[in-house]
Structure 1
């Protein structure tokens, strides 16, 4: 299903709950390579991560830009698939600069190895298992156990998936 304005707003609201994610890229040998990353920015649906232009992830993205970004916390799960690119935009890097990055980039925001890895989402899926949605899930899971049927993820209001168009 193509994302409508409501889907995109829901996605952006969920995305704001996370400051870290697992970034999964395709390694040189074709296997999947995952690593934790701090989210530098989520601008609309686009995710940005600070990294080095000498990192494995930038080399992997140059060879195959397909990535997945997975986030989890406090009963909420978000999975994003899309394409990544490397940005060397100095103004954006300076705007996003955080002192916590200094151990990796000792020259600060002007460090020549500092780049942004930008993920442009193509598909997103979320599961929200907190508050009333958690109770809804527990109710549906109880019914499924009692009747011997599967829980339908699509029937739960705390689950959604869509494509960005």
Structure 2
């Protein structure tokens, strides 16, 4: 599979899948949680509360591992293993860009000072389980 085909499949999965797991390190141990993801190109974005455990964990260790795309149908489901470097972004433009009304459960609105975006730059992406084929590494 060519790099172009891998990238096309990765972008399709990112477009179709919005929920995945995000792992950080807490007390020197892995810590995972489900998150909602948005993307532009290969960069991921996810909303969070500025005082959430993950923000403190990221300040100590800015690297994450994300699994996204598994459909739950069983063997052969495609998904992405995504390694990235995380930064906190609280710019008004970005917060408004990714705001949606489902976030009202957690925040007062896009101007809520507790609402921040985790911006994740890719450092490694692998396409997994393409019908039993070995993982395909995307050149970043």
TM-score when normalising by structure 1: 0.74
Runs of 4+ in 1 over 6 A off after TM superposition: none
**1:110 aligned counterpart, secondary structure:** coil
Q: Tell me whether 1:52 sits opposite 2:49 in the alignment.
A: yes
- Conservation of the 8 A alpha-carbon contact between 1:122 and 1:163: no
Higher helix share: 1
- Conservation of the 8 A alpha-carbon contact between 2:80 and 2:127: yes
Higher strand share: 2
- Conservation of the 8 A alpha-carbon contact between 2:7 and 2:138: no
Match of 1:161 in 2: 137
5+ residue gaps, structure 2, are none
Match of 2:123 in 1: 122
- Conservation of the 8 A alpha-carbon contact between 2:67 and 2:80: yes
TM-score when normalising by structure 2: 0.87
Match of 1:94 in 2: 96
CA RMSD of aligned residues (A): 1.8
| Larger gyration radius, structure 1 or structure 2 | 1
How many pairs align?
A: 134
Shift of 1:10: 2.9
